[in-house]
A = this chain, B = another copy of it.
Amino acid sequence: MPTVQPPNGTRDFYPTELARRRYIERAWREVSVQHGFDEIDGPTFEHSELYAVKSGEGILSELFMAFSGKDKDEKLRASLAEGRAPLALRPEFTPTLARMFAARAGELARPTRWFWQNSCFRAERPQRGRLREFLQWNCDILGDASPQADVEAIACCVGLLERLGLTPADVKVRYSHRTALGALITELGVDETHQDAAFVLLDRRDKLDNADIEAMAFEFGVHSVAFLNFLKRPRGRDSGTIDAALDSTPLEVRALATLLLAPLEAVGGELASAGLEAWCEVDLNVARGLAYYTGMVFEVHETGGAMRAVAGGGRYDKLIETFGGPATPAVGFGMGDVVLGLVLADRGLLPDDKSVRAALGLRPGAFVISNGTPEADALLTPTVSALRRAGVHARRSGKSTKNVGKLLKDAGDANARFALIIEGADEATLKDLDIGVQTKGPRGAQIDALKAALGA
């Protein structure tokens, strides 16, 4: 008997789990389309060099490597012996997006608005909220440098949260600005070579106490006392407005912190214009781990509970050129299905299986039953076939019982809209299972009535 377990950190989706996944995926898709994004996709694996271009060290150390088992050449064997392989399963979609945009940059519109949803793979240690294969949704606007585009990305993300029933009491978009923070960090005495380290420190400060932050800064070689004071300013989220965020900065850097004012206000103004103020807060600790962000950055966090991050993104104006394309301003975000699913479940926002299936259009229109006579039995297959060919979602029982009552219970368990009970060669009973009303009549007319009721 072979292994009957799926690989560690992956999931089997039986119909109930699959329907729940499709419910989230459909929301991703429809919200993206509403917001004017076009869907794209790329290969599940890429040449592994593609990920060396810009993915952070964290991602690179967690690649799933792949190779063709058919390929027997010496060079492959040599690199495998060193733990490298020519291909890698995508750990994120952005490198593929950048490659695809760069390849057709000349013919693509400005802005180009793309969304994507599919699996990503990371060889992380599986834990609650983290899997080795997960679904990811990305939306990106390429070729638009305006704060309006920043906010269109945020608006699409909020559109998804709102559609799934979340409110600003559940989740908040916390935003900041990398360029502005970078200028502030420089003014605080951190030199160019330590900027990335400073962003990592900013990113972590909410999770660490002052002693740990100082130890980490020492380890990174970040010695600016002014920057350390900025890091050590009182914990807890800034209260969300731009003024409050600036007020929370230590007195000695407050003058410098006004560097942040103009870019954050530009974003804030557009957020107000799009009616998103209630969802969004300034947060100077949002720096994003990845090195490629260049402007506005944001994360969506739970406001209470585990404070998990549901989504994140920002502006990355230099990335397309890194992949051989023309200089192209770009902004986007990503959201995974795992944390989102946990957040929705904790709040009772994942509908039950029956509701999910109905929402996805999976409810059977007709459940066809024979009354047990030989004539009716012989008509079961042709009737089911005819209904299906007419576009009706038609089912019948898998049970061998001839008991109409039991078969009607099967119809109810399947949540069918109607039951059609064939009564011999010429008659049939059509039962509306939602309201319980039933009528008897000629079989052909009943089938027509059923098709008409279902719009088939």
Q: Please determine whether B46 and A18 come into contact, CB atoms closer than 8 angstroms.
A: no
What is the interface residue range for chain A against chain B? Answer: 35 or more
Scan A44-58; emit 1 where CB is below 8 A from any B CB, else 0: 111101101100000
Instruction: Point out which of A45, A324, A364 has the most chain B C-beta atoms below 10 A from its C-beta.
Output: A45
Q: Which of B15, B44, B104, B162 contacts A39 (CB 8 A)?
A: B15
Residues A104 and B14 in contact in the complex (CB < 8 Å), given A7-B45, A64-B67, A67-B65: yes
Q: Which residues of B are found within 8 Å of A34, using beta-carbon distances? A: 388, 391-394
Q: Which of B123, B362, B391 contacts A68 (CB 8 A)?
A: B123
Q: Which residues of B are found within 8 Å of A19, using beta-carbon distances? A: 39
Tell whether A33 is near chain B: CB-to-CB under 8 Å: yes
Q: Please determine whether B44 and A159 come into contact, CB atoms closer than 8 angstroms.
A: no
Q: Which of A82-90, A169-177, A337-345, A418-426 is the contact stretch?
A: A82-90
Q: Which of B71, B83, B119, B382 contacts A273 (CB 8 A)?
A: B382
Q: How far is the CA of A36 from the CA of B362 in the complex (A)?
A: 9
Tell whether A1 is near chain B: CB-to-CB under 8 Å: yes
Q: How far is the CA of A64 from the CA of B378 in the complex (A)?
A: 48
Tell whether A323 is near chain B: CB-to-CB under 8 Å: yes
Q: How far is the CA of A203 from the CA of B15 in the complex (A)?
A: 35
Q: Please determine whether B4 and A102 come into contact, CB atoms closer than 8 angstroms.
A: yes
Scan A109-129; emit 1 where CB is below 8 A from any B CB, else 0: 111001000010101000000
Tell whether A75 is near chain B: CB-to-CB under 8 Å: no
Tell whether A62 is near chain B: CB-to-CB under 8 Å: yes
Shortest beta-carbon distance from A378 to chain B in Å: 8
Q: Which residues of B are found within 8 Å of A239, using beta-carbon distances? A: none
Scan A1-28; emit 1 where CB is below 8 A from any B CB, else 0: 1111111001111110011011000000
Q: Which residues of B are found within 8 Å of A276, using beta-carbon distances? A: 385
Residues A15 and B38 in contact in the complex (CB < 8 Å), given A386-B275, A393-B33: yes
Residues A143 and B398 in contact in the complex (CB < 8 Å), given A4-B99, A13-B40: yes
Residues A4 and B323 in contact in the complex (CB < 8 Å), given A39-B18, A391-B34, A398-B109: yes
Q: For residue A414, which residue of chain B has the nearest CB?
A: B36
Q: For residue A111, which residue of chain B has the nearest CB?
A: B398
Q: Which residues of B are found within 8 Å of A70, using beta-carbon distances? A: 61-62, 123
Q: Please determine whether A7 and B61 come into contact, CB atoms closer than 8 angstroms.
A: no
Q: Which residues of B are found within 8 Å of A431, using beta-carbon distances? A: none
Q: How far is the CA of A393 from the CA of B33 in the complex (A)?
A: 6
Tell whether A140 is near chain B: CB-to-CB under 8 Å: no
Q: Which residues of B are found within 8 Å of A39, using beta-carbon distances? A: 15, 18-19, 22
Q: Please determine whether A36 and B69 come into contact, CB atoms closer than 8 angstroms.
A: no
Shortest beta-carbon distance from A112 to chain B in Å: 8
Q: Please determine whether B382 and A274 come into contact, CB atoms closer than 8 angstroms.
A: yes
Q: For residue A151, which residue of chain B has the nearest CB?
A: B381
Q: Please determine whether A83 and B69 come into contact, CB atoms closer than 8 angstroms.
A: yes
Tell whether A42 is near chain B: CB-to-CB under 8 Å: yes
Q: For residue A48, which residue of chain B has the nearest CB?
A: B69
Tell whether A455 is near chain B: CB-to-CB under 8 Å: no
Q: Please determine whether A43 and B11 come into contact, CB atoms closer than 8 angstroms.
A: yes
Q: For residue A53, which residue of chain B has the nearest CB?
A: B2
Q: Which residues of A contact B (CB under 8 A)?
A: 1-7, 10-15, 18-19, 21-22, 33-36, 38-47, 49-50, 52-53, 61-72, 77, 80-81, 83-85, 87-89, 96, 99-100, 102-104, 109-111, 114, 119, 121, 123, 133, 143-144, 148, 151, 155, 159, 162, 270, 273-276, 323-324, 361-362, 364, 378, 381-382, 385-386, 388-389, 391-396, 398
Contacts A13-B40, A44-B44, A62-B70 known; 5 new A-B pairs at CB < 8 A: A4-B324, A38-B362, A66-B66, A273-B381, A274-B385
